[in-house]
Amino acid sequence: MPLTVTKRQTTPFKDQKAGTSGLRKSTRHFQQESYVENFIQSFFNALNEDIQKEIGDNGQVSLMVGGDGRYFGVECVGKILQLAAANPRINKVIVAQNGLMSTPAVSCCIRKYKTFAGIILTASHNPGGENADFGIKFNCSNGGPALQHFTDKIYNLSTQINEYFVVDNFSCDISQIGEHNFEVEGRKFSVQIIDSVQDYLELMQNIFDFNLLKDFFKSGVKITVDALNGVVGPYAKRILCDELGMPESEARNCTPLPDFGGFHPDPNLTYAKTLVDLMKKGEHDFGAAFDGDGDRNMILGKDAFFITPCDSVAVLAANLNLIPYFQREGIKGFARSMPTSGALDLVAKDLGMKCFETPTGWKFFGNLMDSNQLSLCGEESFGTGSDHIREKDGLWAVLAWLSVLANKKMTIRDILLAHWNKYGRNFFSRYDYEECDSDSANKVMKHLQDLFAQADFVGREFTFGDKKFTVKLADDFQYTDPVDHSVTTKQGLRIVFTDGSRVIFRLSGTGSSGATIRLYIDSYENDSSKYELDAQVVLKPLIQIALQISQLQEFTGRNEPTVIT
Ligand code: VG1
Ligand code: CO
């Protein structure tokens, strides 16, 4: 049957505005008629302008499409193919086999196959399924998340859209690797199905010393991972089991499922509890969990010794020279998101390197990497990564940690103790108050802004028990990108005290309903007798003062956070 383009009338949705990382809504919301079509067509309309600018009148480009396997993903790939086939500016779409591709693998493949852009079908660490969340995220030709000016453009176009173009009878079997060729109204269009696990494996082989890692696995060390039924499972099995020799039985929940088997695929101490409980038994030396789309990681040592993501990136920074990729490429600089603790800054200072402080969200690291100023970066939200791609990378972080362990021949706990003894320890915790009602969450933020505006707030003293804190700075974090000079405002209300301790309040930009308030607490300690204390005990005065200043409990009626990290 000949393939022809149909123009279809539509009316705009008013809510297609991307948050911290793409558009996230309930699956049912995405399933509304024309919802996906409108959003993808708006993306194509924005993209076509860029193609015109960069390649000219007859320019055609290719597109990468993958997703984390959650419910509605395969159906959505089908819709994207029908719309892409109708767009004369796109001559090829590369899709991972069965549409399954981790976020880091999409970034890797955009760079490897040199596609003009990419679409990732994921709501990342949000639960999946018919009654949970779905998400769509756009990436650029550098492999990184689209920048604000581009997502703003898509949003503006989505508020005015009145038509989209589809090839109704277009279909393609995405389970078979290979190239499928089509002709749409006399124009050639192809769909290439790739094995992204192989592509990602090759990238990792180029970064790490696989022989060293194989020997490490043979040495008797017990390693286990839990993919929470997210998309990283097949990558973990192939790399850790087939290549490096980890027993299959240690690759837990490694089959991607549309509802993640009921897990909330967020690798933290609350939602990855089964791994935490397993590690507490003391039978394993190393445990790691990943989120739904495989860009986050949580790393635990023996007896569930927890490495905060802030410490994780700092320890890796101090040991990067052990990894072949960095021996070859050199170390260009470091970066962390503003709420992430200052542990990384201390290593940077020691090495004489720069450490950038960016707003929350991986998209802010891309320009720094593209301009050769950044090699390693991290976020407190279990994100660690390097300039090998332009997304955070959970499995990369695991291989980086295993490389450090294989070289140092020390336990995770001893590595951390040695690190704190050299640099001091940044105690860090994050309290998440999920699904607060939006009005009360806004009231908390407004209350803080009003306080910050008072002339005498700086200098004010707060006490809890015998601890006294004096406000040194209170502001709404703002960032000027050193490369493109774009300014991003309202990135978190922070109070910095005279001793360097910080408390930060932010509203999450990845939720699909209500509001999540995040409270971040960071405090530096260089009294070595305190390094092994529990962070919750050490930070208690600061946490109580943060709650007192913000009146968070009074405004929201919430006495306890949903998640403590
Ligand atoms: C959260 C994290 C942020 C992370 C983002 C995307 O955003 O705090 O650090 O980059 O999720 O991660 P927010 O706005 O909810 O605080 V993922 O794994 O969802 O792509
Ligand atoms: Co994620």
268 lines ligand 1 (CB under 6 A): no
Q: List the one residue out of 382, 391, 386, 360 whose CA is nearest residue 372.
A: 386
> Which residues carry out catalysis?
124
Please tell me the predicted confidence (pLDDT) of residue 450: 94
Number of the ligand closest to the Cα of 293? 2
Please tell me the predicted confidence (pLDDT) of residue 517: 93
pLDDT tens per residue, range 46-64: 999 889 888 888 889 999 9
Which region among 216-220, 355-359, 557-561 has the lowest average model confidence (pLDDT)?
557-561
CATH of region 199-423: 3.40.120.10
pLDDT tens per residue, range 551-561: 998 988 888 88
383 lines ligand 1 (CB under 6 A): yes
Number of the ligand closest to the Cα of 294? 2
Distance 21 CA to ligand 1 centre (A): 7
Distance 320 CA to ligand 1 centre (A): 25
Contact 105, 199 (CB under 8 A): yes
Residue 235: exposed, middle, or buried by beta-carbon count in 10 A (0-12, 13-18, 19+)? Answer: buried
Angle between helices 309-319 and 394-408 (to 10 degrees): 50
Mean pLDDT, the chain, rounded, equals 94
User: Residue 435: is its pLDDT beyond 90?
Assistant: no
Q: Which residues of 495-523 are buried (b: 16+ CB within 10 A; e: fewer)?
A: bbbeeebbbbbbbbebbbeebbbbbbbbb
Return the ligand 1 atom nearest residue 292 CA. 18
3-state secondary structure of 354: coil
Distance 81 CA to ligand 2 centre (A): 24
Residue nearest to atom 11 of ligand 1 (CA): 510
3-state secondary structure of 228: coil
Q: What percent of the chain has pLDDT over 90?
A: 87
**How confident is residue 466, by pLDDT bands cut at 50, 70 and 90?**
confident
Per CATH, is 6-194 categorized as 3.40.50.720?
A: no
CA of residue 230 relative to chain centroid, distance: 14
Q: What percent of the chain has pLDDT over 70?
A: 100
Same fold, 6-194 and 199-423: yes
Contact 83, 43 (CB under 8 A): no
For residue 164, what are its two tokens?
């989209």
Contact 136, 36 (CB under 8 A): yes
387 lines ligand 1 (CB under 6 A): no
pLDDT tens per residue, range 394-433: 999 999 999 999 999 999 999 999 999 999 999 999 999 9
pLDDT tens per residue, range 261-277: 998 999 999 899 999 99
Residue nearest to atom 13 of ligand 1 (CA): 508
Please tell me the predicted confidence (pLDDT) of residue 555: 86
Return the ligand 1 atom nearest residue 126 CA. 19
pLDDT tens per residue, range 470-522: 999 999 999 999 999 999 999 999 999 988 889 999 999 887 777 899 999 99
- The domain ranges of the chain are 6-194, 199-423, 425-564
Looking from the CA of 473 toward its CB, the CA atoms found within 13 Å total 11
**How confident is residue 224, by pLDDT bands cut at 50, 70 and 90?**
very high
pTM of the model: 0.93
88 lines ligand 1 (CB under 6 A): no
**How confident is residue 467, by pLDDT bands cut at 50, 70 and 90?**
confident
125 lines ligand 1 (CB under 6 A): yes
Which region among 246-255, 372-381, 523-532 has the lowest average model confidence (pLDDT)?
523-532
520 lines ligand 1 (CB under 6 A): no
559/556 Cα distance (integer angstroms): 8
Number of the ligand closest to the Cα of 520? 1
Contact 341, 380 (CB under 8 A): yes
pLDDT tens per residue, range 76-113: 999 999 999 999 999 999 999 999 999 999 999 999 99
CATH of region 425-564: 3.30.310.50
Amino acid letter, 73: G
Distance 161 CA to ligand 1 centre (A): 29
